[in-house]
């Protein structure tokens, strides 16, 4: 039962290793020097990445002060927010490395402890695991496709703009994927190719940090959902037909598994709550401004870039809210599973034990945005509503010259 989890982790690790990290890193026994040595590749990339962020922030500040084009500012803001979001996500994975390791070890132990009691039980467990892992794999592939389109469009956008300008004016005007403030002339032919590659690599690095964290989050949620589904099945089958008592050892085993699952959710809350908070706060702004750019930008290549980015932003926050909702509902179904069992055939002592489990399950396991808001589908609808309000306000305020 551990193999599907390990396979999904290897997909997450692919993104992390490109960044110079490892999702299995323990993070609790290294000195600062050892940490710097083991993550030197990531640190070097991180410094270069933030040099680009500083140039973009400088340009946005100057643009606001000097009153530059409103469209140019809105063009940069979603990209800049996305880069800052990627910092929160990438650093959180590294900062909470020991909790990542603790979750992985705990989940592997829980999966290894799943022993089928009969052939029907074995088929049920394999069906549930295959079903949810298949869904997770499809999500991985679809997200990778969207990200790939987004990166390609942002890379090719400046090239098509230069070709379009050359066709109209017969002059070559160099363009870069992003606007930034630099202490040198970035359009100098000796520097331009390196700047183009650096900016495209910056977008790739930010995307890897976001996707690596997102995929790890989706993997954790998927296997918690699998565990809760199997736990609910076992709870429902705890009392056999015609029996007047339950197996106390089996009940103890299921209760301990339930406690470990709740601890796994608490570990996830520790790892992801800060990045989820920033994600929730910025999603409305990113969706709003990106949608605004799609509606007002005239260049078809830039529209395609922003449209791909808009789809990615909406799908990302939806999946966070969807999985948060799934965990909440799965944890509450433990009480329903007990209620659907043959509890009424047991004695008073057993019924009291069942009542304690049902009462505890009424308080669901939840993921939050650092305790400020619960992450579920209601939150997603609220984010979209806020984004639409901001979008309508921007459209009202925008008056093209």
Give the closest residue to 129 by CA, choosing from 241, 236, 270, 228.
228
In this prediction, residue 306 carries a pLDDT of 84
Q: How far apart are CA 109 and CA 113, in angstroms?
A: 6
Contacts of 139 (CB under 8 A, 6+ apart): 218, 319
Query: Could you tell me the two tokens for 300?
Result: 């078809």
Share of the chain above pLDDT 90, in %: 25
In this prediction, residue 129 carries a pLDDT of 92
Looking at residue 68, the DSSP 8-state letter turns out to be: -
Q: How far apart are CA 172 and CA 316, in angstroms?
A: 38
| pLDDT tens digits for range 229-282 | 999 988 888 876 666 677 778 888 888 999 999 999 999 999 999 889 988 888
Looking at residue 240, the DSSP 8-state letter turns out to be: P
Give the closest residue to 154 by CA, choosing from 174, 177, 180.
177
SS3 label, residue 368:
strand
Q: How far apart are CA 142 and CA 147, in angstroms?
A: 9
Using the structure block, give the residue that is written with the tokens 């323990």.
26
Query: What is the end-to-end Cα distance of the chain in Å, rounded?
Result: 63
Q: Based on the number of CB atoms within 10 Å of its own CB, is 56 exposed (0-12), middle (13-18) or buried (19 or more)?
A: buried
In this prediction, residue 399 carries a pLDDT of 67
Q: Based on the number of CB atoms within 10 Å of its own CB, is 316 exposed (0-12), middle (13-18) or buried (19 or more)?
A: buried
| pLDDT tens digits for range 135-175 | 999 999 988 888 888 888 888 888 888 888 888 887 888 88
Question: 234 near 118, Cβ under 8 Å?
Answer: no
Over residues 216-220, the mean pLDDT reads 94
Query: Could you tell me the two tokens for 140?
Result: 């991985």
Q: How far apart are CA 312 and CA 316, in angstroms?
A: 6
User: Please, what sign has the CA dihedral across residues 261, 222, 105, 268?
Assistant: negative
Q: How far apart are CA 226 and CA 126, in angstroms?
A: 10
Residue 28: pLDDT above 70?
A: no
Looking at residue 185, the DSSP 8-state letter turns out to be: -
């Amino acid at each position: 039962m551990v193999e599907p989890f390990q396979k999904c982790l290897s997909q997450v690790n692919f993104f992390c290793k490109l960044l110079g990290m490892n999702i299995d890193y323990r993070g609790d026994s290294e000195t600062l020097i050892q940490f710097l040595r083991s993550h030197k590749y990531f640190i070097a990339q991180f410094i270069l990445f933030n040099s680009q962020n500083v140039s973009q922030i400088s340009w946005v500040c100057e643009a606001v002060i000097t009153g530059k084009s409103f469209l140019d500012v809105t063009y940069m803001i979603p990209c800049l927010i996305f880069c800052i979001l990627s910092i929160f996500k990438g650093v959180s994975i590294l900062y909470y490395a020991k909790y990542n390791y603790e979750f992985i070890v705990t989940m592997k132990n829980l999966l290894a402890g799943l022993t089928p009691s009969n052939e029907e039980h074995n088929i049920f467990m394999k069906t549930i695991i295959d079903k949810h892992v298949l869904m997770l794999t499809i999500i991985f592939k679809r997200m990778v496709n969207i990200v790939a389109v987004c990166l390609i469009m942002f890379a090719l956008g400046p090239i098509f703009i230069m070709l379009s300008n050359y066709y109209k004016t017969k002059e070559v005007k160099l363009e870069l994927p992003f606007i930034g403030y630099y202490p040198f002339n970035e359009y100098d032919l000796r520097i331009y190719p390196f700047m183009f590659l650096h900016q495209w690599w910056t977008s790739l690095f930010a995307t890897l940090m976001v996707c690596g964290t997102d995929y790890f989050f989706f993997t954790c949620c998927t296997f918690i959902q699998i565990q809760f589904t199997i736990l609910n099945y076992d709870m429902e089958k705890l009392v056999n037909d015609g029996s007047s008592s339950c197996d106390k050892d089996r009940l103890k085993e299921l209760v301990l598994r339930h406690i470990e699952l709740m601890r796994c959710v608490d570990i996830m809350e520790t790892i992801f709550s800060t990045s989820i908070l920033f994600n929730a706060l910025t999603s409305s702004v990113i969706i709003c401004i990106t949608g605004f750019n799609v509606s007002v930008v005239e260049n078809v290549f830039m529209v395609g870039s922003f449209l791909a980015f808009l789809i990615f932003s909406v799908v990302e926050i939806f999946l966070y809210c969807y999985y948060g909702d799934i965990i909440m509902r799965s944890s509450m179904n433990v009480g329903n599973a007990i209620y659907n069992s043959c509890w009424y055939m047991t004695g008073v002592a057993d019924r009291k034990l069942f009542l304690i489990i049902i009462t505890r399950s009424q308080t669901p396991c939840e993921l939050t945005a650092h305790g400020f808001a619960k992450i579920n589908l209601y939150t997603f609808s609220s984010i979209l509503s806020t984004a639409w309000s901001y979008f309508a306000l921007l459209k009202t305020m925008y008056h093209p010259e």
